[in-house]
Amino acid sequence: MFDASLVYFVGAGPGDPELITLKGYKILSQADVVIYAGSLINKELLEYCKDGAECHDSAYLHLDQITELMVNGVKNGKLVVRLQTGDLSLYGSIREQGEELAKHNIGFRSVAGVSSFLGAASELGIEYTVPEVSQSLVITRMAGRTPTPELESIERFAAHQTSMAIFLSVQGINQVIAQLSKGGYPDDTPVAVVYKATWEDCQIIRGDLTTIADKVTKAGIRKTALILVGKFLGEEYHYSKLYDAEFSHEYR
């Protein structure tokens, strides 16, 4: 049973309505009030809601209005769900929503979701970590209306030449690529831009640092896409030790 004195923040997953968690599905199907991030989540998810559930698209609302809907719902004994794209822990702005709820003495619970960088990996059938090629993934964005700390510039991360998943930046692909090159990735570093990962109209554009920006511009992709960069997308590969016959079994 869910506790209607709290607000539930639920990760909706990257798009495919079957990629919400079972827990997310259960709570969504019992919710009385759902406030969903309409510009990114798949509206087919709302078909899981019960008849009579009130659904509000937050694309047209500002923080105060979202808070008011949540607070009124809880005060009226309703089960309130805030449904956001991917997982809540990346660019989710749940902290500020939680702060606003706290002013009304209302708490929240988060239900994890499948982030779009994971949906994109499944779409490509790749691993971000490839033995002896890359063992780390940088998740970042280019500075926009929300600035990024100087130590976290794309250029600085590029110096590591590891796998990168860049959110919220495809509209500035030319700048991103310039910073990646300046930072240290060689020109032939593979890049994939995944638009609407796990949606039916998903598009994948592949290239390298010299070709990708033109291809993405020609395809007209300006939002809902991830820029994935690194040698993990390339040919080089080494078998892991994990299933090596000589290796102990305890991590399999």
Check residue 92 for interaction with ligand SAH (CB under 6 A): yes
- Out of 71, 192, 194, 221, the only residue in the binding site for ligand SAH (CB under 6 A) is 194
Check residue 179 for interaction with ligand SAH (CB under 6 A): no
Beta pairing partners, 141: 167
Q: In this chain, which stretch among 81-89, 130-138, 183-191, 214-222 interacts with ligand SAH, using CB under 6 A?
A: 81-89
Check residue 73 for interaction with ligand SAH (CB under 6 A): no
The footprint of ligand SAH on residues 19-58 (CB under 6 A) is 40
Residue number, 141 or 231, with CB nearest to ligand SAH:
141
Check residue 224 for interaction with ligand SAH (CB under 6 A): yes
Check residue 225 for interaction with ligand SAH (CB under 6 A): yes
- Is the separation of the CB atoms in 201 and 244 below 8 Å? no
Check residue 115 for interaction with ligand SAH (CB under 6 A): yes
CA dist 206 and 219 (Å) reads 12
The residue length of the chain stands at 252
- Out of 73, 86, 172, 230, the only residue in the binding site for ligand SAH (CB under 6 A) is 86
| Helices 63-75 and 94-102, axial angle in degrees (round to 10) | 50
Check residue 97 for interaction with ligand SAH (CB under 6 A): no
- The least distance separating ligand SAH from the CB of residue 84, rounded to whole angstroms, comes to 6
CA dist 99 and 127 (Å) reads 36
Which of 140-143's residues contact partners 24+ apart within 8 Å by CB, and which partners? 140/164, 140/165, 140/166, 140/167, 141/91, 141/166, 141/167, 141/168, 141/169, 142/166, 142/168, 142/169, 142/172, 142/175, 142/176, 142/179
Q: Which residues bind to ligand SAH, rule: CB under 6 A?
A: 14-15, 40, 85-87, 90-92, 115-116, 119-120, 167-168, 194, 196-199, 223-226
